Structure 1
Amino acid sequence: MTEFLESRRAESDKRVDRLLSQLAKAQKHAGASACVYLTGSFGRGEASSHSDLDLFILSRSDESPRRPSRLEEICLKADLIEQTRAIGLPEFSGDGEYLALYTVDKLVRTLGCPNDDASNTFTARLLLLLESRPLIGKEVYDEAVHEVLKAYWRDYDDHPKDFMPTFWPTTSHGCGEPSASTMRRGPRPIRRKRRLSGSSRTTS
């Protein structure tokens, strides 16, 4: 089993390195304001010769200049598509439906929101934390991981003895903010079992 996993990791690293060597244009368009991170089999280092590429594009902020311009975003996506084709990787799933740019602001803002799943930010956030690796823009990637983790602990100082980093899907006091009655009951973990967009995996 160890030998098998090591061979898969070597295959993953080889293909990622080859792709990265072709992405000079994408790196230029991302600049210091965005990153691209891999998830799925490439993020876990388990890719085979038949694996497709699951990735997310993430910028620092909703505000310019901490995010690529619209034209830079288009060029970045175009280079990712062109170079994955050039090295023989399968087409992006859903005809590129999930090849979208997210922001760290949005990943944090949608925590506990009713549209978190529908906007795919739930998937982008969880996979960022659980199984990702940076392809482009490691500094932005590291900052994103830090900011998202920090968001889960933002209420710790209010009740450090019994704090749990859980979020309520919807409340009358604003997205992700529990009502007074909910606070009196104490935090309850959210259990989900949903199909992750673009993937056959589920979370629970």
Structure 2
Amino acid sequence: MTRFDGIELPNIVQRRFDVRMTESKTKLDVLTTRLAKARHLKAFEHLTIYAAGSYGRLEASKYSDIDLFFVLAKPRSYFDEIRVPEIRLLSEIVEIGYDMDFPKFSNDGHFLKLLFLDDTPSRAEEARARSYSRRITVAGTATKSCSVESGRPYR
């Protein structure tokens, strides 16, 4: 038996968790590499990308979609031009998602957008409601992954 958050799990269940964690990390690593090479990413130097849901918890299965939050640490007014660069970056992200065999984006991509410092409270609440998110390191910038709810770093 293995203990997980105070609960005893049979070893077979623990192995399944371990497999999902490994597969989630591997797919996130590939995604991170692909995003770091995105041509239109350089237009957004203040961008942080978070994976939430099953990938944020490292529990994704082969059927899991990926929930991403793209948060700019500057208000919308900081940028001279934003809409066209946003469309160009998001179109690359859609291609990367399809190339990596993620399920198609929900609601025809309705939630696929950049969030700005001055319009994130409702989206931050949504992320917090999901309990966990994982910050994706892009372009070699070292970041710390942590729970949105507790602020505690992941192991």
TM-score of the two chains, using structure 2 as the length reference: 0.70
**In structure 2, what is the equivalent of residue 135 of structure 1?**
136
Tell me the distance in 1 between the aligned counterparts of 2:129 and 2:40: 22
SS in 2 for 1:50: coil
Report if the CA contact (8 A) 2:65-2:103 is conserved. Answer: yes
1:82 Cα offset (Å): 0.2
| 1:1-204 equivalence runs, <5 A | 1-23=13-35, 24-25=37-38, 28-29=41-42, 31-62=44-75, 63-65=77-79, 69-107=82-120, 110=121, 116=122, 120-124=123-127, 126=128, 130-137=131-138
Q: Residues 71 and 136 from structure 1, CA distance in 2 versus in 1: closer, same or farther, beyond 3 angstroms?
A: farther
**In structure 1, what is the equivalent of residue 9 of structure 2?**
none
Tell me the distance in 2 between the aligned counterparts of 1:48 and 1:73: 29
List runs of 5+ in structure 2 lacking aligned partners: 1-12, 151-155
SS in 1 for 2:102: coil
1:77 Cα offset (Å): 0.8
RMSD across aligned positions (CA): 3.2
Q: Number of matched residues?
A: 133
**4+ residue runs over 6 A deviation:** none
**In structure 2, what is the equivalent of residue 159 of structure 1?**
none
- Greater Rg by CA: 1
List runs of 5+ in structure 1 lacking aligned partners: 111-115, 150-204
1:135 Cα offset (Å): 2.2
What do residues 50-85 of structure 1 show as CA deviations (whole Å, max 9, x unaligned)? 1111111111121324x9822221122111100110
Tell me the distance in 2 between the aligned counterparts of 1:29 and 1:88: 25
Q: Residues 101 and 61 from structure 1, CA distance in 2 versus in 1: closer, same or farther, beyond 3 angstroms?
A: same
Give the partner amino acid of 1:16.
L
SS in 1 for 2:38: helix
Q: Residues 54 and 32 from structure 1, CA distance in 2 versus in 1: closer, same or farther, beyond 3 angstroms?
A: same
What do residues 83-138 of structure 1 show as CA deviations (whole Å, max 9, x unaligned)? 1101111111111111122123333xx4xxxxx4xxx45314x158x311122559
Report if the CA contact (8 A) 2:44-2:72 is conserved. Answer: no
TM-score of the two chains, using structure 1 as the length reference: 0.55
Q: Residues 73 and 89 from structure 1, CA distance in 2 versus in 1: closer, same or farther, beyond 3 angstroms?
A: same
Tell me the distance in 1 between the aligned counterparts of 2:102 and 2:112: 15
